[in-house]
Amino acid sequence: MLNDRRLFLEMLGQTSSAPLALEIARGEGIYLYGPDGKRYIDLISGVSVSNTGHHHPDVVDAVKKQADAHLHLMVYGEYIQSPQVRYAEKIISMLPGQLNRCYFVNSGSEAVEGALKLAKRFTGRSRIVSFRNAYHGSTHGALSVTGSETLKTKFRPLLPDVWFIPYNHIQSLEAIDRNTACVIAEPAQAEAGVIWPSDEFLRRLRERCDETGTLLIFDESQTAFGRTGKMFAFEWSGVTPDILVLAKALGGGMPLGAFIASGNVMLSLSENPALGHITTFGGHPVSCAAGLASLNVIIQNNLHQKAVEKSELFRKYLNNSAVKEIRGKGLLLAVETGSHELTEKIIRNAPGYGLVLDYFLFCSTAFRIAPPLTISNDEIPEACEKLNALLNSIK
């Protein structure tokens, strides 16, 4: 184990100067296990990826069956591959009628890239409007529409003609005009610390896009597949986007992303020029098989609906003076402490209490609670008991 830690730090690219470096040997349900057998309650799901938990038998079985059939065959879009077709059919059946064409890619960042290209290609416009404190990924295009200068400044120049406006501020929507190709928004800003807008704001955003011929992109990388108590977070407001971005839980624990639009819009990527977007491994058959199995688990067990009740249990049992506020819906919650220093100590000390917690990129005074949707009503009090003990030890 010590040797693995050394090699991890010496031979793998690092995302920060101080990684948590927690070694995990296996996962089961809501639990992660170290090489020494120590058990941790996973309260972040790999950042909203493992919605059906770790090592779910249905997902594992789907992966094994598809691996026995075939792995990669050809760059995406050339061959008919049953896992892609069946998964696209299932997702589209759950969406409003105009969202009827799915393009599978590898990740959320690539799905954002594809969505931005699609909007520019379809409208013939270049301007993109995004929101402050939005997070959409780390590739150049996705970073360009991420609302944090701290993450971007060392990588400029990025995409030109990207405008940023305040989130949940109706008057600022006047910045959207007939030069705007698209607006990209999260129906709830996750990395800002789980900030939900008013329904009026999202409705007015939809109206302004319609008035100006602008395409509306919703990035649901973190919020889809039951995470907020609806299958898709945009269902809370009833506002439908022109392009929907999916990732994270989309793959059931495997790498997968997608952007979804109407056939009329999507087909613009296939001509003048052809191959307007190309991906070698996008929609990998094993990832699609895993994603479909995971989605079926969510549907069959009503995990999206049960997430609302489970959210209330966290609010009930996490009763500690260190908690100033709990924001969010379903099982995407921000626990506000009001202190960057306290939040950092909580996250760093969590493994000692058998917990895995995580930060928000743009809200340093809160930590994330986003466990697998499979967490039971009996497991939530256990998790909160450990959380309360952790908070009491360092507040």
Q: pLDDT of 344-360, one tens digit each?
A: 999 999 999 999 999 99
Query: Domain of 354: which CATH number?
Result: 3.90.1150.10
Q: pLDDT-derived band of residue 18, with 50, 70 and 90 as boundaries?
A: confident
pLDDT of residue 14: 87
- Per the structure block, which two tokens stand in for 61? 């079985």
Please give the average per-residue pLDDT across 230-246, as a whole number. Answer: 98
Q: Are residues 249 and 382 in the same domain?
A: no
Q: Which long-range contacts (CB under 8 A, 24 or more apart) does 375-380 make?
A: 375/30, 375/53, 375/310, 375/331, 377/309, 377/310, 377/313, 379/30, 379/41, 380/310, 380/313, 380/314, 380/317
- Average pLDDT of every residue of the chain: 96
Q: In what order do the strands lie in the sheet with 127-131?
A: 101-105, 257-261, 243-246, 215-219, 180-185, 127-131, 162-165
The DSSP 8-state label assigned to residue 338 in this structure reads S
Residue showing tokens 């809370």: 236
Reduced to 3 states, what is the DSSP secondary structure of residue 104?
strand
CA distance 142 to 308: 31
Q: Are residues 259 and 129 in the same domain?
A: yes
Q: Are residues 266 and 175 in the same domain?
A: yes
Domain end (from 273, 300, 327): 300
pLDDT of residue 179: 98
pLDDT of residue 395: 66
Sign of the CA dihedral running 267, 289, 43, 47: negative
Q: Are residues 182 and 66 in the same domain?
A: yes
Query: Domain of 230: which CATH number?
Result: 3.40.640.10
Q: Are residues 287 and 311 in the same domain?
A: no
Convert the pLDDT of each residue in 22-72 to its tens digit: 999 999 999 999 999 999 999 999 999 999 999 999 999 999 999 999 999
Residue 239, pLDDT above cutoff 80: yes
Convert the pLDDT of each residue in 320-348 to its tens digit: 999 999 999 999 999 999 999 999 999 99
Please give the average per-residue pLDDT across 285-289, as a whole number. Answer: 98
CA distances to 109, 296, 307 from 301, in Å: 30, 8, 11
Beta bridge pairs of residue 130: 164
CB-CB contact of 87 with 290 (8 Å): no
pLDDT of residue 3: 73
CA distance 6 to 14: 13
Residue 1, pLDDT above cutoff 70: no
CA distance 272 to 266: 13
Convert the pLDDT of each residue in 132-174 to its tens digit: 999 999 999 999 999 999 999 999 999 999 999 999 999 999 9
Number of Cβ within 10 Å of residue 225's Cβ equals 30
Residue 307, pLDDT above cutoff 80: yes
Q: Are residues 100 and 207 in the same domain?
A: yes
Q: Are residues 27 and 146 in the same domain?
A: no
Q: Are residues 123 and 253 in the same domain?
A: yes
- Per the structure block, which two tokens stand in for 21? 């470096």
Residue 7, pLDDT above cutoff 70: yes
What is the percent of the chain with per-residue pLDDT over 90, rounded to a whole number?
Answer: 94
Domain end (from 283, 300, 317): 300
Q: Are residues 222 and 122 in the same domain?
A: yes
Q: Are residues 240 and 184 in the same domain?
A: yes
Q: Are residues 105 and 118 in the same domain?
A: yes
List the one residue out of 116, 121, 181 whose CA is nearest residue 144.
116
Establish how many alpha carbons lie within 13 A of residue 31's alpha carbon, considering only the half-sphere containing its beta carbon: 10
pLDDT of residue 138: 96
pLDDT of residue 90: 98
List the one residue out of 41, 82, 36 whose CA is nearest residue 354.
41
6 against 155, higher pLDDT: 155
Domain end (from 300, 331, 361): 300
Reduced to 3 states, what is the DSSP secondary structure of residue 288?
helix
The DSSP 8-state label assigned to residue 312 in this structure reads H
328: domain range?
2-55+302-394
Convert the pLDDT of each residue in 103-139 to its tens digit: 999 999 999 999 999 999 999 999 999 999 999 999 9
Domain count, the chain: 2
Q: Are residues 36 and 143 in the same domain?
A: no
pLDDT of residue 11: 86
pLDDT of residue 77: 95
pLDDT of residue 359: 95
pLDDT of residue 2: 53
Name the strand (E) or helix (H) holding 2: helix 2-11
Q: pLDDT-derived band of residue 250, with 50, 70 and 90 as boundaries?
A: very high
